[in-house]
A and B are shown apart, each in its own frame.
Chain A
Amino acid sequence: MASKHPKKPDTRSIWIVVAAFNEAAVLSPIVSDLVCRSYRVVVVDDGSHDATGQIAFSAGATVVTHPVNLGQGAALQTGINFALQQGADYVVTFDADGQHRCSDIARLIDALVDRDAAYALGSRFLGSSRGMPFGRRLLLQAAVWLTRVMTGLHLTDTHNGLRAMTREGASRISLRQNRMAHASELLQQIAASGLRHVEVPVTIDYTGYSLAKGQRFSDSLAILFDLSAQKLHR
């Protein structure tokens, strides 16, 4: 059962976690926009070789730096841990490649509050997406089906990096999958938590940059291998 939260939470109690690896080219306006909306922002610089960390800090974010590149899953978990340490009431994960809209965050938080949920998961298939290639759509639909089989969760979009969670929800997340399989692992942990989750329509803006950074078909095979391997050891 999700805990009750006050209506209209203070934006200063909302921490936005941005995992970033070599995102110096696009990060500054994203962080600035988030900071301007009075959110607390933590950018986890995942061992970048460029000025990602410095740019994020200059734009107003708190920066936590992995000494070496560990992967997006590891970076998100570091960010979630940091946000919880800082006393966050809500934690939002937000991609660094510019495909998410800052305006969608308020809708996710509203969904948590209004629908008494612990997790609000963004869905581009309930909302909209601009410039999504056909191959990407097929891959995402396959992931939706697989997630249904593996977790029993009936979701429309399983690999959307825009999600919000309450403090209680965030504290139940403990990602061990450092790399791409973390999105599936996170859904498994949401299912296992027994806490309420909702889907919220969001908009994804695909750009040449975000598509180049996104996942490919071969990555999905690696994800399946990683998820299987994890079940074989503690």
Chain B
Amino acid sequence: MIAQIGLSILLAGVLVYAWTEYRRAPVISILSILVATAGLYFVWLPSHATRLATLVGIGRGVDLIIYVWLVISLILLLNLHLKLRSQAELITILMREIALANARTAEPNK
């Protein structure tokens, strides 16, 4: 029960985070919500996880949950990468403004 509550809190955190990211990265957000919801479902109904795990050839339900967690981690890693790209775009805009404001203009040919 303690593990279930702990995992649920973590997954709920992922859900909240995914919701807040929806406007910036909708694809990542939806993927995270889907995987986190599946995670929550299997945490509370492990027998279903075991049945599904057997069905897809993973073996144990707990392994399935670990795999779900791994997928969440990879999605969040991708989201971090996208955030860095957004930061780089902002820096580019700033640099461009600085560059344009300090242009050294050549004398036009007569």
Bound: A84/B89 CA distance, A: 21
Number of interface residues of A (CB under 8 A): 33
CB distance from A123 to the nearest CB of B (A): 29
Q: Which of B23, B28, B78, B109 contacts A35 (CB 8 A)?
A: B109
Closest to B82 in A: A233
Interface residues of B in 81-110 (CB under 8 A from A): 81-82, 85-86, 88-89, 91-92, 95-96, 98-100, 102-106, 108-109
Closest to B85 in A: A229
Knowing that A53-B104, A60-B106, A78-B100 touch, tell me 6 more A-B residue pairs with CB under 8 angstroms: A62-B106, A63-B106, A64-B100, A85-B100, A176-B89, A178-B88
Contact A70 B95, beta carbon cutoff 8 Å: yes
Contact B92 A70, beta carbon cutoff 8 Å: yes
Bound: A218/B88 CA distance, A: 22
- The yes or no answer to B24 lying at the interface (CB within 8 A) is yes
CB distance from B25 to the nearest CB of A (A): 4
Q: Which of B85, B95, B104, B108 contacts A66 (CB 8 A)?
A: B95
**Which A residues lie within 8 Å of B27 (CB)?**
231-232
Given the interface contacts A63-B104, A74-B92, does A233 sit within 8 Å of B98 by beta carbon? Answer: no
Closest to B25 in A: A233
Contact A234 B108, beta carbon cutoff 8 Å: no
Q: Which of A38, A40, A77, A231 contacts B96 (CB 8 A)?
A: A77
**Which B residues lie within 8 Å of A44 (CB)?**
99
**Which B residues lie within 8 Å of A232 (CB)?**
25, 27-28, 78, 82
Contact B92 A178, beta carbon cutoff 8 Å: yes
One digit per residue, 1 when the CB lies within 8 angstroms of any chain B CB and 0 when it does not, for chain A 66-85 equals 11101000100110011001
The size bracket of the interface on B is 20 to 34
Residues of B bordering A, CB below 8 Å: 23-25, 27-28, 78, 81-82, 85-86, 88-89, 91-92, 95-96, 98-100, 102-106, 108-109
Bound: A144/B109 CA distance, A: 39
**Which B residues lie within 8 Å of A85 (CB)?**
100
**Which B residues lie within 8 Å of A178 (CB)?**
88, 92
Query: Which 5 pairs, one residue from A and one from B, show the smallest C-beta to C-beta distance?
Result: A233-B82, A233-B25, A63-B104, A64-B103, A62-B106
Interface residues of A in 40-62 (CB under 8 A from B): 40-42, 44, 53, 57, 60-62
Closest to B27 in A: A232
**Which A residues lie within 8 Å of B95 (CB)?**
66-68, 70, 74
